[in-house]
């Protein structure tokens, strides 16, 4: 019976996937009748699945059935929202993306407990980098582009080989044969593209100029490689190689976005830790400082990044639970946690028009950013421990499939 329901779920999800492909096309609009039929199909699927869900799934089919139920519930919410003009309250967003209700209690504690640590790290950054001003590389110049790309491609070739020698992931070499990894001198952000099978590290993001020369920023370069190559692109490759059904293989929708980003952030950390254990190999790479300097810079910028993300999400949560006219209330609530006084008014004013006039709620597109609060991978890694599968096995599970947070927990637990 489970396999029949999985096949049924694949058919319904395929229609939802086709709807998203259509909406990606120029000038496309939502077809109300098609969406209504799809909503009915998912509602029926939810009813059919309700009696076969497993509290502790012990087989692949049971894991897939549980995940199918989550996907169906998410698709019903999306289709229901599209059927009329409205904004979801924040509690609904939390339910859709399985964010823990006490998340912001923990955030407030973290921001309070780490306030001085963040300030001290920021002071160290000030002391270390206040002597000279860097600039982003202006890529309108063909000469600068060529210089940056020449340095970047040489470094990338060396670095890819180094990672291959220290990264214990089955399939890494085969992945390199299937994906093009290069530099992009147009986009300001690095990215991986599953359809084209490419990873493009942004020259603008990874390079800086100083005293007439071009330099690679090693922290940004290594982070981009870990995030886009070992995270996104390896996930694309191993998932495409798998025999998972569509709803666990092609689910590149918002329900899996926090999981995918959590995986990529894990592989950023993983790559730095691997390199830390093989710092002698970094010495051969062109124009990079000693790895202990690189690692300290990474640790510092990582802490500042965590601080910024937690403060941003707390700000969104406070806005979502306020009204547009509650300016003083918002400022007062955020002021206890922000180190920069000016950030408060900047944040509130940035979102001064982000309100649904009919309901008075913060727009759903803003509130949905709270889904990234669900950073599930550190919890998974912590709970596997020495009694769980080996690190490569766990990491291969992390990179195979597109899962909701709970789905990934069940998938990795199954091993």
CB 146 within 8 A of CB 325: no
Domain ranges of the chain: 1-84, 132-245+271-288
**Whether pLDDT at 404 is above 60:** yes
Please report, rounded to a whole number, the percentage of residues in the chain having pLDDT higher than 70.
95
Helix segments in 167-290, DSSP class H: 172-178, 203-206, 218-224, 234-241, 246-249, 254-277, 279-282
* 379 HSE (CA, 13 A, CB side): 12
pLDDT of residue 387: 42
Q: How confident is the model at residue 285 (pLDDT cuts 50, 70, 90)?
A: low
pLDDT of residue 283: 54
pLDDT of residue 44: 97
Taking only the tens place, the pLDDT of each residue in 214-244 is 888 999 999 999 999 999 999 999 999 999 9
| Residue 384 host element (H or E) | helix 377-384
Taking only the tens place, the pLDDT of each residue in 315-338 is 999 998 888 888 777 778 888 999
pLDDT of residue 25: 93
Average pLDDT, the chain: 89
From residue 137, how far is each of 12, 16, 147 by CA, in Å? Answer: 47, 42, 10
């Amino acid at each position: 019976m489970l396999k029949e329901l999985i096949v049924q779920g694949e058919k319904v999800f395929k229609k939802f996937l086709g709807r998203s492909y259509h909406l990606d096309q120029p000038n496309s609009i939502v077809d109300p009748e098609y969406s209504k039929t799809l909503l009915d199909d998912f509602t029926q699927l939810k009813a059919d699945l309700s009696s076969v869900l497993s509290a502790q799934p012990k087989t692949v089919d049971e894991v897939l059935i549980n995940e199918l139920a989550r996907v169906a519930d998410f698709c019903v919410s999306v289709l229901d929202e599209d059927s009329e003009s409205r904004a979801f309250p924040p509690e609904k967003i939390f339910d859709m993306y399985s964010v823990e209700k006490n998340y912001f209690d923990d955030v407030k504690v973290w921001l309070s407990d780490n306030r001085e640590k963040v300030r001290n790290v920021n002071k160290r950054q000030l002391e270390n980098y206040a002597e000279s001003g860097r600039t982003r590389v202006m890529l309108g110049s063909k000469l600068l582009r060529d210089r940056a790309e020449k340095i970047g491609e040489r470094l990338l070739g060396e670095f890819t080989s180094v990672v291959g020698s220290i990264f214990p992931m089955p399939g890494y070499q085969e992945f390199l044969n299937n994906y093009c990894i290069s530099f992009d001198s147009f986009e300001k952000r690095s990215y991986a593209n599953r359809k084209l099978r490419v990873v493009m590290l942004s020259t603008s993001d990874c390079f800086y100029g100083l005293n007439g020369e071009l330099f690679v920023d090693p922290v940004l370069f290594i982070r981009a490689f870990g995030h886009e190559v070992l995270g996104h692109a390896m996930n694309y490759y191993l998932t495409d190689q798998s025999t998972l059904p569509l709803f666990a293989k092609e689910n590149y929708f918002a329900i899996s976005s926090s999981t995918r980003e959590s995986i990529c952030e894990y592989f950023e950390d993983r790559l730095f830790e691997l390199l830390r254990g093989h710092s002698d190999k970094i010495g051969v790479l062109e124009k990079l400082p000693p790895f202990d300097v690189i690692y300290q810079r990474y640790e510092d910028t990582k802490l500042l990044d965590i601080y910024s993300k937690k403060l941003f999400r707390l700000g969104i949560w406070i806005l979502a639970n306020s009204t547009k006219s509650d300016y003083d209330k918002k400022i007062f609530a955020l002021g206890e946690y922000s180190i920069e006084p000016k950030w408060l008014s900047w944040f509130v004013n940035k979102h001064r028009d982000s309100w649904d006039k009919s309901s008075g709620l913060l727009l759903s597109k803003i509130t949905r950013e709270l889904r990234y609060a669900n950073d599930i991978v550190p919890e998974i890694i912590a709970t596997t421990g020495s009694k769980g599968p080996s690190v490569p096995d766990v990491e291969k599970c992390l990179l195979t499939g597109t899962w909701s947070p709970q789905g990934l927990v069940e998938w990795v637990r199954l091993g």
